[in-house]
Amino acid sequence: MAREHEGAVDLGRVDEIVARHKGREGALLPVLREVQDAVGYLPQEALERVALGLGLSLSQVYGVATFYSLLYTKPKGKYTVRVCESAPCHVQGAQEVVDTLVRELGISFGETTPDGLFTLEKVSCLGVCGVAPAVMIGDRVYGNLTPETVVAVLQEYR
Amino acid sequence: MALVKLTIDGLPVEVEAGTTILRAAEKLGIHIPTLCYLEDMHEFGACRVCVVEVEGARTLQAACVTPVREGIVVRTNTPAVRRARRTTVELILSDHHTECPTCVRNLNCELQSLAESMGIRENRFAGARTDNPVDSSSAAIVRDPNKCVLCRRCVSICEKVQGVKAIGPVGRGFETVIGPAFGDRLGDTVCVNCGQCILVCPTGALHERDSTEEVWAALADPDRHVVFQTAPATRVALGETYGLPPGSIVTGKMVAAIRRLGADTVFDTDFAADLTIMEEGHELIQRLTKGGTLPMITSCSPGWIKFIEHFYPDLLPNLSTCKSPQQMFGAVIKTYYAEKVGLDPAKIYHVSVMPCTAKKFECRRPEMRDSGFADVDAALTTRELGRMLKEAGIVFDELPEEPYDDPLGESTGAAVIFGATGGVMEAALRTAYEVVTKKTLPRVEFEAVRGLEGVKEASVDLDGTEVRVAVAHGLANAKKVLDKVRAGEGDWHFIEIMACPGGCIGGGGQPIPTNLEVRQKRIEGIYTADERMTIRKSHENPSILALYKEFLGEPLGHKSHELLHTTYTPRGRYLPRREKAAD
Amino acid sequence: MRFYRAHVLVCAGTNCSLKGSQAVRQRLLNELEEVGLADEVKVVETGCFGLCEQGPTVVVYPEGVLYCRVTPDDVPELVREHLLKGRRLERLLYREEAEKAVQTVPQVDFFRGQQRIVLRNCGVIDPESIEEYIAHGGYEALGKALTEMKPAEVVAELKASGLRGRGGAGFPTGLKWEFAAKTEGDVKYIVCNADEGEPGTFKDRLILEGDPHAVLEGMAIAGYAVGARKGYIYIRGEYALSIERLEEAIKQARKMNFLGDGIFGTGFAFDVEVRVGAGAYVCGEETALFESLEGRRGEPRLKPPYPTERGLFGKPTVINNVETLANVAPIILNGAKWYRGFGTEGSPGTKVFTLTGDIVNEGLIEVPMGITLREVVFGIGGGIPGGRAFKMAQTGGTSGGCLPAELLDVPMDYDELAKAGSALGSGALLIMDDTHCIVDIARVFARFFEHESCGKCVPCREGTMRIHDIMTRIATGRAGEKDLDNLEALARTMTTACLCPLGQAAPVPIMTTLKYFREEYDAHIKEKRCPTGTCRALAAPAATLAAGKGA
C-alpha cells in the first residue's frame, strides 16, 4: 500500500483511479476506497479531485467519506489497530484486550502513537466471532487474544 | 385519476390515488403535526413527528410520505401515537440548545410551536448534547448547529433548488452535523449567500448576520446623516411582520416607520432600479448593434453573481457590467446627492433594506467603493427592519402614509416590478423597445416573462428586430440556461437570472414563512403596485432624467462607467489548498 | 486424470487460518514431498468445517478421520502414522466431553446432528476450484432451470419450498421473486447482501470463503426467474478473503460460461459484480445497501416503494442474503417437496447457526429449523465450558432478544422465536454463563446501536444515544427508577416509530434483559451493586453496600 507524504498528494494517481471508474454507476465508494489505499487516507486535495473527476459536489463526497468507519479523512498511523467491541468479543474478554492496548500504546481510541506507528480504533463486529476476542491490523485479523498475546502481536509490527 | 376511499379517525374520506395520509387528513380538518416536511420541497419522512397508526401495519407510518391505499384505517391520535410523537419531540428538545427567549426565532419557531401545541412539559432525556461552534464566518448567514434538528431542509434546498450544494450531512449517527465539507467555515465555501436555507429552517439554526446593532449606532450618532433605501420587494412583505397578509402594499407606512427610527433621509431603491434600466438597456442595445458578447445576462442579484463567479467563470463576459440598484444608489448618494445637499460624504451612513441576505456580502465587496467610500454601509433584511421597528415600539398600523424624500425617491412601475422574477426583463424591454423603435409601446405588460415557471422564454419584436429572451429564477434553473449558453445552444440575446425562487420577493431576507403561496401573493402585490404607478417606464422618470442632465451625462458615459459599473472575480469551485490541518 | 489414494482436507476458513492452518498445509505439502507421497496424497484447502473452537481441523479421506488442533509440528507424525502406516494418530483425534476419542466425521456428534445443505461443500471441496464444485453437482441446478424450466416455474418452485430470507427478516423468498418477476421493466437487478454485520454472525463469511460458486449459481437462477441480467454482491470491506475468493470464482465461472452471454447455450445472459462496503452496519439494511451501492451515505429509504418495485438504481430488485442464495440450487435440483422435508411447517429447511460466547463448540453448524435451543447449546454445542451454569442466550445477533434458562426449550424457527419475544434473525447465538453481568452486556448492546445509527431519523439518532446514556448510568451506579421508566418509553417509541429495522430492533435486546433479569437491574439501581462483580464502577461499593449479601 503506497503511502504519500502528508501535504503532497499525487493528484495524478487520484485522476487515474477516477478515470478507471468513470462511467460506472455508483462509482464513488470504490473510488474512495482505492484513493485511500493509494494515499493512506482521504485528504482534502484528494477529495476535491475526486469530486471534480466524478462531477459530484464536495458536500456529497465529504458526506460519504465521513459516514463510513473504514474511510478516514485524517492521517492515520502506519498501522491501524481495530479492536472489536461487540457483544461476542466482549463476552470472551475483549475488555482486557482493550485495556492492554491502551496501556501498551499509551493512547486513547481515535489517537495515533507519537511515533506515528499505531492508530487505535474501536470497531463493531468483524465477523470472526469464532475466535473472539479479535483485533484487526490492516487487512489481517488476530483472534483468541489475551493480554499477553496481543502484546506479542504488536511486537510483530514494531 | 383514480379515487381512493379510506378512514381517518373514524371519518371517511375520498382522495386521489397518490395523495399522502397527511393531505387526506387535512381534507377532514385533521392537522397532523409535522417538522421536517416542507410541501413540494422536502418530503423526507425522517423526523417521525407525523407518525400515525395504520391498521395492519407493523410499525407507525410517517403521514407526510405515506400514500393512501384503498380501505386503510388510520388513527392519528391513539395513546400510542401520541406517546411516540411526544417522545420524539422530547428527544429533539433534549439535543437542542433551548435558549428561546434570546433566540432570533423566538415566537416564530416550528420547534417551539410543536412543543407548545403538544403541551410538552418536561425534558426526560437530558444528557449529552451536540456541541459545535457557531459559524459566523459568512458576511450574510450564521450557522448554529446546536439548534439544528437535522431536518435537512436546508440541504435539500441548497442542492435541489439552488444547485449550489454548499452544505450537507457530515459524520454519522448522533454526531451528524449539517455543514460544509471539511468543517470549513461557510464564508470560505461556494455558498452564494442566497439565504434560501434560512427561509426553510424551522429553528434558529440558520439566520442572517445581524446588522441592526451598527445601524442603531449610526442612527444614534448625531454626526452621521443616515440615508435609507428600500427595495421593491420589501414593500409587499414588511407588513407580514405585523400580521398583514402577504402582498399587502405598505410603502407609505414603511417610509414613515423608518423616519420614526431616526433616519435622516428615506429614498427608494426603485429610483436606482430605473437608473439600472437606463444603463443596462443601453448596454444591451450597444451589444446588439455593435457586436458585443451575447447573450447578455442581468447582474443585479448578488447571490447569482457569486454563483456565476464560482461555477461559470467562463461566462463572466456575458454579465452586464451594471451594478445592482442597491450599489448604483450607494455610489450616487455619496457623490451626486452629497454634493447636491452640501453634505460631507464621509458623514453619510447609507443603509439599504433588502429582501436579500446576499446584499450583505455585496456591499462589502472590495470594488464597491467607487464613491471613495463604502457605497453602502449596511444592508438590512426585511426581517431585521421589522425587528428594529418592533424594538422601537412603532405601531405600524397607526402610521400615516408618507412619501419618500426627493430627489432620489421618485420611481416608476418598471422599477417596482424588479421585485418579481421577470421584472428586470420586463422593465428593460419597456425601455429598450421605445429607445430602439422610437415608438410608444402599445401595452407595457409583457406577460410572457411573468409567473413562477422556472425558465421562461419569450420573443419580442423590436420593429423588425427579433430579440429572444430567457428568464430563470432559482439557481438550479439558472444552471439549465447557463449550460445551454456554454454549449452554444439556446440563442437568446438577453437573460434575466434571479438567485431566489420567485425573484426578490422570495429572497433569503424576507419574513418567514416564505412558501409558494406567499410568493404568489407577494408577486401579485408587486404587479398591483406597478399598475398604480403613474409612470410605468424607467426612461420617463423625471428624477432620472435630471440625474443624467445634472451629473451623469448620458447612459454608458464616462461618469456612469466610473460609478455605476463594476467588475467580477472568478472564484474556484473549491477552496484554495491549505496547509495540513492540525488534528 | 490423476487418482489420489488419499485426500487430506485442511480447513482454511478464516477462524482456522487465524490459528495457523496455512502453516499446517504448507508443512503437509513439504512432508508429503519428503516421504514421496506427493503424487498419491492430495492436500486440499477447504472452507469452514464449523468446528472453529477446535481448529486448525484436518480431515483425512477416504476414512473421514477428523483431527483437531493440528499444529505444523504435528504434521510429520501425522503423515508417517496415518498416511504411510495407516494408523490413526490418537492424540489429535476429536475428543468429546467424555474424553472418548471419536474418529470419523460421521461419528462426531457435532456433525451427526447437522444437516448440511447450505454448507454442503464447505469443508469438502477446494473453494478455489470450480472443477470440484462442478464435480459435486455444481451448476447442475442452473442448467436444469435454464433448459428444463420456465422462469415462472422456477419462481413457483421457490414459493413451494417455503424458503424464507436467511438474513434475518424471514420474508418468503419465492414471494419476493414473484413480485420482482411481475414488475414491468427491462432492467432488473439481483443483489446479494453480503454485508454481514450482525455481531456474532460469520456464516456468510464462511459460506463465501468455502463455497463461493453456490452463491453465484443462486444469483444466476434468481436472475433467470425474475428477468434480471446483472447481479451485484455487496460485501463488507473487512472480508478480504471472501472478496478474493468471490472475484476468483467469478472469473472461473465466466471462463466456463456459467456467467456471461448465452449460458448453457440459451438466450440467458447474467453477470455479477462485487462491490465492497466501507464499514457501516446499517448498510445491511436493504435500502441503505442500495444507497451505498449508488455512492451515497448508507441511509435507509422510505418503504414503499419496496425493492421489488423500485430498488437499486430505481429498478426492480431482488435482494437476498448469502445463505438464502446458497439454498437455491439444492431446491431446484431436489425439489420443493424435498426441501420441506426438513424444518418446520412455517420455516422449512435448515438454518446455519453461529455459536459464540460461553459454549464448548464455538463455530458454525447447520441444523433443521425447529431444533430447540437446548439441543443446540447442550447437544451439538457441547454445553457450557468449565461446567458453569447457563445464564442467557441471545438469538439473532445484537438486535435479537435474550432468553433465560426457562426458555431453553423454545424451538428455533422464525415464528416460535418471535413468539418468545426474540428473533431467529441471522442465526447468531451468543451464550452467556453466570459469570457475566446482564446489565454490562446490555450496555454493550446499547453502545453498538449508538455507534451504528445512521442518524437520519430522530427516534434512532437521539434514542440510541439516550439508551446508551441510561445503560451507562445503570452500569456505573448513577441511575434511578425514572431511568427504567424512560428506557421503557424510549423502547416503545423506537420499536414503533423508527424509520428502519435498526432503530426498531435496537431496544429489543435490552428490554428482554429487563424482562427476564430484573433483579440484576434492581441490584445496580437500588443497591448500587453488581451481583457478578463485572461492573467496575460498582466493584468497590459491592462489599460495603451489599453487606451480608456477598458479591
- What would the pLDDT profile of C13-31 be if each residue is shown by its tens digit? 888 888 888 899 999 999 9
Residue A113 domain-assigned (yes or no): yes
**Among B500, B448, B495, B479, residue whose Cα is nearest residue B231:** B500
The one catalytic residue among B320, B324, B352, B371: B320
Which of A51, A58, A63 comes nearest B169 by C-beta? A63
Beta-carbon contacts of residue B4 (< 8 Å; ≥ 6 apart): B14, B15, B16, B17, B19, B68, B69, B70
Cell numbers representing residue B130 in the block:
451536540
pLDDT at position C102: 64
Q: Hey, what amino acid is at C89?
A: L
Q: Is the peptide bond before B295 cis (omega within 30 degrees of 0)?
A: yes
Shortest Cα–Cα distance, A26 to chain B (Å): 18
Domain total of chain A: 2
Q: Using CA atoms, how far apart are residues B103 and B337, in angstroms rounded to an integer? A: 39
Residues A42 and A89 placed together within one structural domain of the fold: no
Element (H, E) at B352: strand B348-354
The DSSP letter of residue B38 is B
Beta-carbon contacts of residue B12 (< 8 Å; ≥ 6 apart): B5, B6
What percent of the residues of chain A are helix, what percent strand, and what percent coil, each to the nearest 5? Answer: 45, 10, 40
Q: Using CA atoms, how far apart are residues B137 and B133, in angstroms rounded to an integer? A: 11
**Do C276 and A128 make contact, defined as CB atoms within 8 angstroms?**
no
Which of C451, C486, C497 comes nearest B48 by C-beta? C497
Cell numbers representing residue B501 in the block:
425562487
For the beta carbon of residue C6, count every other beta carbon within 10 angstroms. Answer: 17
Residue with C-alpha cell 420587494?
A: B233
CA geometry: angle at B565 spanning B559 and B566, to 5°?
135
Residues of C in contact with A126 (CB under 8 A): 238
B401 counts as catalytic: no
Residue A72 domain-assigned (yes or no): no
User: For testing the chain B interface, which of A59, A61, A72 should be mutated: the one with the most B CBs within 10 Å?
Assistant: A59
pLDDT at position B576: 56
**Do B181 and A59 make contact, defined as CB atoms within 8 angstroms?**
yes
Q: Is the peptide bond before B513 cis (omega within 30 degrees of 0)?
A: yes
Residues A99 and A152 placed together within one structural domain of the fold: yes
Cell numbers representing residue B74 in the block:
388510520
B543 counts as catalytic: no
Q: Using CA atoms, how far apart are residues C284 and C57, in angstroms rounded to an integer? A: 31
The one catalytic residue among B90, B279, B283, B496: B283
Does A153 contact chain C (CB < 8 Å)? no
Q: Using CA atoms, how far apart are residues C524 and C535, in angstroms rounded to an integer? A: 9
Burial classification of residue C113, based on how many CB atoms lie within 10 Å of its CB (0-12 exposed, 13-18 middle, 19 or more buried): middle
Residue A6 domain-assigned (yes or no): no
Residue C110 has pLDDT above 90, yes or no: no
Q: Cβ distance B429 to B443 under 8 Å? A: no
Cell numbers representing residue C215 in the block:
452463491
B362 counts as catalytic: yes
**Do B580 and A58 make contact, defined as CB atoms within 8 angstroms?**
no
Residues of B in contact with A62 (CB under 8 A): 168, 170, 181-182
Q: Using CA atoms, how far apart are residues A101 and A116, in angstroms rounded to an integer? A: 16
Residues C72-78: contacts with CB within 8 Å, 24+ apart? C72/C20, C72/C23, C72/C24, C72/C26, C72/C27, C74/C24, C75/C24, C75/C27, C75/C28, C75/C31, C76/C27, C76/C31, C78/C28
**Do A131 and C15 make contact, defined as CB atoms within 8 angstroms?**
yes
Residues A92 and A140 placed together within one structural domain of the fold: yes
Shortest Cα–Cα distance, A35 to chain B (Å): 17
Q: Cβ distance C364 to C52 under 8 Å? A: yes
Cell numbers representing residue C471 in the block:
445503560
B36 counts as catalytic: no
Residues A85 and A153 placed together within one structural domain of the fold: yes
ipTM over 0.90? The verdict is: yes
**Do C462 and B176 make contact, defined as CB atoms within 8 angstroms?**
no
Residues of C in contact with A143 (CB under 8 A): 15, 18-19
Does C295 contact chain B (CB < 8 Å)? no
Residues of B in contact with C493 (CB under 8 A): 83-84, 87-88
Interior/surface letters B70-108, b for 16+ CB within 10 angstroms, e for the rest: eebebbbeeebbeebbbbbbbbbbbbbbeebeebbbeeb
pLDDT at position C89: 86
Residues A25 and A93 placed together within one structural domain of the fold: no
**Among B359, B223, B237, residue whose Cα is nearest residue B300:** B359
Q: Cβ distance B506 to B519 under 8 Å? A: yes
Residues A84 and A147 placed together within one structural domain of the fold: yes
Residue A46 domain-assigned (yes or no): yes
Beta-carbon contacts of residue C453 (< 8 Å; ≥ 6 apart): B172, B173, B174, C282, C460, C461, C464, C465, C502, C503, C506
Residues of C in contact with B171 (CB under 8 A): 455
Residue A1 domain-assigned (yes or no): no
Does B127 contact chain C (CB < 8 Å)? yes
Shortest Cα–Cα distance, A1 to chain C (Å): 15
pLDDT at position C101: 65
B320 counts as catalytic: yes
Q: Hey, what amino acid is at A119?
A: T
Domains, in order of start, for chain C: 6-108 (3.40.30.10), 130-339 (3.40.50.11540), 350-433 (3.10.20.600), 438-547 (1.20.1440.230)
Element (H, E) at B425: helix B423-437
Give me the helix-helix angle, B269-290 and B325-332, nearest 10°.
Answer: 110
Residues A30 and A86 placed together within one structural domain of the fold: no
Q: Using CA atoms, how far apart are residues B564 and B526, in angstroms rounded to an integer? A: 26
Q: Hey, what amino acid is at C490?
A: L
**Do B46 and C486 make contact, defined as CB atoms within 8 angstroms?**
no
Residue with C-alpha cell 479531485?
A: A49
Q: Cβ distance B130 to B174 under 8 Å? A: yes
B504 counts as catalytic: yes
Q: Residue A102 sits in a domain of what CATH number? A: 3.40.30.10
Residues A47 and A105 placed together within one structural domain of the fold: no
pLDDT at position A9: 85
- B 166-185 residues with CB below 8 A of C? 169, 171-176
pLDDT at position B582: 31
B398 counts as catalytic: no
Burial classification of residue B442, based on how many CB atoms lie within 10 Å of its CB (0-12 exposed, 13-18 middle, 19 or more buried): exposed
Q: Using CA atoms, how far apart are residues B20 and B416, in angstroms rounded to an integer? A: 39
pLDDT at position B573: 80
Shortest Cα–Cα distance, B62 to chain C (Å): 8
**Do A26 and C293 make contact, defined as CB atoms within 8 angstroms?**
yes
Does A91 contact chain C (CB < 8 Å)? yes
What percent of the residues of chain C are helix, what percent strand, and what percent coil, each to the nearest 5? Answer: 45, 15, 35
Q: Hey, what amino acid is at B374?
A: A
Residue A95 domain-assigned (yes or no): yes
Q: Using CA atoms, how far apart are residues C110 and C104, in angstroms rounded to an integer? A: 11
Q: What is the mean pLDDT of residues C409-426?
A: 95
Does C356 contact chain A (CB < 8 Å)? yes
Does C19 contact chain A (CB < 8 Å)? yes
Which of A30, A60, A64 comes nearest C275 by C-beta? A30
Closest residue of chain B to A50, computed from CA coordinates: B574
**Do B124 and C451 make contact, defined as CB atoms within 8 angstroms?**
no
**Do A57 and B583 make contact, defined as CB atoms within 8 angstroms?**
no
Residue C546 has pLDDT above 60, yes or no: no
Q: Hey, what amino acid is at C336?
A: A
Residues A85 and A145 placed together within one structural domain of the fold: yes
pLDDT at position A139: 82
Burial classification of residue A2, based on how many CB atoms lie within 10 Å of its CB (0-12 exposed, 13-18 middle, 19 or more buried): exposed
Residues of C in contact with B65 (CB under 8 A): 302
Q: What are phi and psi of A137, to 5 degrees?
A: -120, 115
Q: What is the pLDDT of residues C183-208, one digit of tens each?
A: 999 999 999 999 999 999 999 999 99
Residue A19 has pLDDT above 60, yes or no: yes
Residue A107 domain-assigned (yes or no): yes
**Do B80 and C496 make contact, defined as CB atoms within 8 angstroms?**
yes
- A 114-143 residues with CB below 8 A of B? none
Residues A85 and A139 placed together within one structural domain of the fold: yes
Give me the helix-helix angle, C322-334 and C212-226, nearest 10°.
Answer: 70
Residues of A in contact with B181 (CB under 8 A): 47, 58-59, 61-63
Does residue B75 sit in helix, strand or coil? strand
Q: What is the mean pLDDT of residues A87-93?
A: 94
Does B289 contact chain C (CB < 8 Å)? no
pLDDT at position C547: 41
**Do C497 and B88 make contact, defined as CB atoms within 8 angstroms?**
yes
Q: Which chains touch A (3 or more CB pairs under 8 A)?
A: B, C
Tell me the whole-structure pTM to 2 decimals: 0.93
The one catalytic residue among B359, B456, B521, B537: B359
Shortest Cα–Cα distance, A71 to chain B (Å): 11
Residue A132 domain-assigned (yes or no): yes
Residues A121 and A95 placed together within one structural domain of the fold: yes
Which of C297, C302, C458 comes nearest B65 by C-beta? C302
pLDDT at position C105: 74
B283 counts as catalytic: yes
Beta-carbon contacts of residue C465 (< 8 Å; ≥ 6 apart): B95, B127, B128, B173, B174, C450, C453
Radius of gyration of chain B measured on its C-alpha atoms: 25
Residues A108 and A142 placed together within one structural domain of the fold: yes
Which of A27, A30, A91 comes nearest C436 by C-beta? A91
pLDDT at position C550: 39
Phi-psi map region of C236: left, alpha, beta (phi>0 left; psi -120 to 50 alpha): beta
Does B573 contact chain A (CB < 8 Å)? yes
The one catalytic residue among B36, B50, B158, B504: B504
Distances (CA, A) of C513 to B373, B455, C195: 72, 60, 27
pLDDT at position C254: 97
Domain range holding A105?
A: 79-157
Distances (CA, A) of B374 to B299, B384, B443: 19, 21, 40
Low-confidence ranges of chain B (pLDDT < 70): 574-583
Residues of B in contact with C281 (CB under 8 A): none
**Do B87 and C495 make contact, defined as CB atoms within 8 angstroms?**
no
The one catalytic residue among B53, B110, B280, B496: B280
Q: Using CA atoms, how far apart are residues B290 and C315, in angstroms rounded to an integer? A: 53
Radius of gyration of chain C measured on its C-alpha atoms: 25
**Do C469 and B175 make contact, defined as CB atoms within 8 angstroms?**
no
